[in-house]
């Protein structure tokens, strides 16, 4: 069983969460003047990292808030979690 520590609710079963995608993607700073290729990259282009990666997760069956999770894509270990725009707290004992 994979536990994800929600910064608002505490450790919860992964079943309560929905994966929300790459947390490192940035929306174009000036949407009105962004080119088609900038929009294409923002919407469709993703890295496929091997190792630690920051992701967005939705606590759908809990507080219904979005959180940020640093997960090792190789081992699936959760390394740190936190609010979307706040600091991440490292998992203890990892």
> Which positions touch Zn ion (CB under 5 A)?
6, 8-9, 59, 62-63
CB of 53 or CB of 67, closer to Zn ion = 67
Q: Retrieve residue 25's tokens.
A: 């993607």
CB of 6 to Zn ion, least distance (A): 3
20 close to 58: Cβ distance less than 8 angstroms? yes
CB of 6 or CB of 78, closer to Zn ion = 6
Phi, psi of 5 (to 5 degrees): -85, 105
CB of 41 or CB of 63, closer to Zn ion = 63
Burial (CB count <10 Å: 0-12, 13-18, 19+), residue 87: exposed
CB of 61 to Zn ion, least distance (A): 9
CB of 16 to Zn ion, least distance (A): 8
């Amino acid at each position: 069983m994979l536990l994800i520590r929600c910064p608002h609710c505490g450790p919860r079963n992964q079943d309560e969460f929905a994966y929300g995608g790459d947390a490192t993607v940035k929306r174009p700073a000036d949407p009105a003047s962004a080119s088609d290729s900038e929009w294409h990259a923002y919407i469709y282009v993703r890295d496929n990292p091997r190792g630690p990666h920051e992701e967005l997760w939705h606590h759908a069956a809990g507080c219904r808030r979005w959180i940020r999770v640093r997960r090792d894509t190789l081992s699936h270990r959760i390394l740190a979690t936190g609010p979307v725009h706040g600091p991440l707290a490292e998992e203890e004992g990892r």
